[in-house]
Structure 1
């Protein structure tokens, strides 16, 4: 299988934060953001692997700031590393106040997605080719995140 550039499967999604998406402080529910993150991570991993995927883990979620009603919430996702059947996906979320022209990073997350065949059996995925400095940095730091996931799993 030929390695694929990170840019091949990179995805971007924008959503409007509406009142039903928010809590009593008029900021978006964290669970809503998590659902969006899981969705775009799955789409990105499916595009990279050309397979159905399942979420193996949400490895980390850092809520850095909030988004409020009326903000445009933009999610960007890319595959940062691959194993034999798994893919680490990095998702970065921004809130854009389109009326004020202000953009802030609200959330960063790493997820592990696994490609599966029609029977639910894990299946091989192509490696990635990082191109930009950020892609290379995320690729080079992926082994330490994998070690952390494995150590966490060993505690079960």
Structure 2
């Protein structure tokens, strides 16, 4: 039985972190692995809110580090479901460094694929996605293309 469709806004998630000394790499910047962990959590929360199920991370693609974050920076992570298949969801997480004056600069963008699991930890269907804005429709179309590329890569064992 297909679950009701949900709006993108119903699962949108925002997390804020302050970069602390424990998060810094040898170059005085935010350690990429730490940022990846924060992004994975945001993607998981989005997918869980959309599916109302336990979820698991299947893949990560398009993880682009555009700029560094430094100690005491305020890091804002914003995630939203961009595309859904039968059991999977694509989640985009944008990461910003927020300045004291509130201006946000994009430092990272990532796409995660999450799969909903049933009580036996088997993939299960997810709700459809209601697209309300042109941006949401554009993300959906791009998500379809990324999904097709992922399928092709699996077939080619790439």
TM-score range, shorter chain: over 0.9
Unaligned runs of 5+ in 2: none
2: CA distance between counterparts of 1:9 and 1:73? 20
Q: Tell me the equivalent position of 1:52.
A: 54
1: CA distance between counterparts of 2:134 and 2:73? 29
CA contact (8 A) 1:62 1:109 kept: yes
Q: Tell me the equivalent position of 1:69.
A: 71
More displaced stretch, 132-141 vs 100-109? 100-109
Per-residue CA deviations over 1:25-68 (Å, capped at 9, x if unaligned) read 22101111110111110111000000000001012201111111
Aligned residue pairs: how many? 155
Q: Tell me the equivalent position of 1:140.
A: 141
Q: Tell me the equivalent position of 1:94.
A: 96
Q: How does 1:23-34 map to 2 (within 5 A)?
A: 23-34=25-36
Alignment of 1:108 onto 2:101: no
Displacement over 4 Å in runs of 4+: none
TM-score (structure 2 length as normaliser): 0.93
**CA shift for structure 1 position 132:** 2.4
TM-score (structure 1 length as normaliser): 0.94
Q: Note closer, same or farther for the CA distance 1:101–1:76 as it changes in structure 2 (3 Å cut).
A: closer
CA contact (8 A) 1:59 1:149 kept: no
> Which residue of the other structure, out of 16, 19, 23, is the alignment partner of 1:17?
19
CA RMSD of aligned residues (A): 1.2
